[in-house]
Amino acid sequence: MTKRVIVVGAGLAGLAAAYELTRAGFDVQVFEARERVGGRVHTAFLDAGQYGELGAEFVDDDHTALLSYAAQFNLSLEPAFKFPDDLRSYIDGHFSSQKTLSSQQKTALNNAYQQLDQLLEQRADPDQTLAQWLAAHSIDPFACKLIRQQSYGLYAADPEAIGVGFFAYSGTSGNRSLRIRGGNTQLTSAFARFLGDRIQTNTPVVRIGEQEQAVAASVKTPQGQIEVLSDWIVVTVPWSVLRHISIEVGLTQAQREAISHLPYGVSVKTLLQYSHRFWQPSSFGLVVTDKPYQTVWESSSTGLGEAGILACTSSGTPSRNVVGCVELAQQTVSALYPNAPQAIATATHDWSTDPWAGGSYCYFAPGDLKTWRSELSYCAGQVIFAGEHTAPLEYCGYMEGAIRSGQRAAEQILAFTNNSTN
């Protein structure tokens, strides 16, 4: 039996799958629509040798798959945040943190989070959005506003759209967040160096079908459209993109519905570099705000030099109304720190208008966990689906989820190949 595999997409899921399959002796081809690898991992390099992430950024201390690859590639990590100490809010014109909350606010937040924890423990998926659940449980106004803003910051989704059962999983990550020193593209570049010319960029796949005993991918190349045959196809692109690719294989009804309707958060991420860190000596931390840019944090906490970078994200419906991303991000920072100077360098990316992303990362609407997740297979014959949207729920939206899904896809192919030769 031949061992040919096509991987659609060179984000972390595709790179991890291709890496594992290549090491196992498979003939792997990776087709990537963009001119670069990495997908939604995208490091921007600004002045003074500093950098920030326009896409995926944080590594939790329990993200063992990513940490293992970082060790293999001799990449070091640096601290980002420790929760809840570094989490602050700016609501109704006032800063607050775990230490400065009033006893009434602490009680209200604890009560709300305890009720969310009960949903998690029961693996419940009520037919309610987060907004509906907050109203039905008469959550304290301060706690309600903070939790609503966390919906934007954590999932890039409106509280009127995200299922409360899925939102409850936001509390399952580690206690400490890290970053890859040198930028997250250090990891994607390490994969790419190993894979070499197995990766072809600027080659979007436009059709996936079957041909006799093989599966076929129709690929647009600079020289024209070609058809490539293989024994397996691993599809790692977001379903917001996949729904525009012709899929001519035997999908189940649940698979077709999931591909067609899985929602993706929308967000604009903007980096603002300043000549000095006017927020020092106190650590900036991670600030959840009620401004159009709902989250702001320091992206250069361990960087060299006097300059510093603040990362700002605007998500959900508010991000669709963002006009002049850089100016509005600057206004948000100025609201937090009225004496903030003008930024000396900026970078921004709107993931909802990115044709090869179609959004930031997936979330689940009310009821989708108990429907799609209970009956949805991530395999359709010789086509296997991967990507953060197919990962265990606690890793959806994370680089860890993308990596784990790529590893799972490779393991499925290896298991089938081993069984067929025994």
CATH superfamily of 4-41+59-77+184-264+358-421: FAD/NAD(P)-binding domain (3.50.50.60)
Banded model confidence at residue 249, pLDDT cuts 50, 70, 90:
very high
pLDDT at 343 over 70: yes
Number of H helices and E strands in the chain, helices first, is 13, 22
pTM above 0.85, yes or no: yes
- Smallest CA-to-CA distance from 284 within 237, 360, 336, 212 is with 336
**Lateral strand order in the sheet of 383-385:** 199-200, 27-31, 4-8, 232-235, 383-385, 379-380
Query: CA-to-CA distance for 333 and 320, rounded, in angstroms?
Result: 19
pLDDT at 321 over 90: no
- What's the distance, Cα to Cα, between the start and end of the chain in Å? 12
Domain boundaries, the chain: 4-41+59-77+184-264+358-421, 96-173
Higher pLDDT, 172 or 295: 295
Phi/psi of residue 370, nearest 5 degrees? -85, -15
pLDDT at 421 over 80: no
Banded model confidence at residue 171, pLDDT cuts 50, 70, 90:
low
Give the pLDDT confidence score for residue 208 in this predicted structure: 98
Query: What kind of architecture, by CATH, is found in domain 96-173?
Result: Orthogonal Bundle (1.10)
pLDDT at 38 over 90: yes
* 81 in Cβ contact with 176 (< 8 Å): yes
Helix (H) / strand (E) containing 193: helix 185-195
When mean pLDDT is compared across 79-88, 192-201, 408-417, the lowest value belongs to 79-88
* 109 in Cβ contact with 146 (< 8 Å): yes
Residue with token string 């998690």: 120
Percentage of residues in the chain having pLDDT higher than 70: 95
Give the pLDDT confidence score for residue 205 in this predicted structure: 98
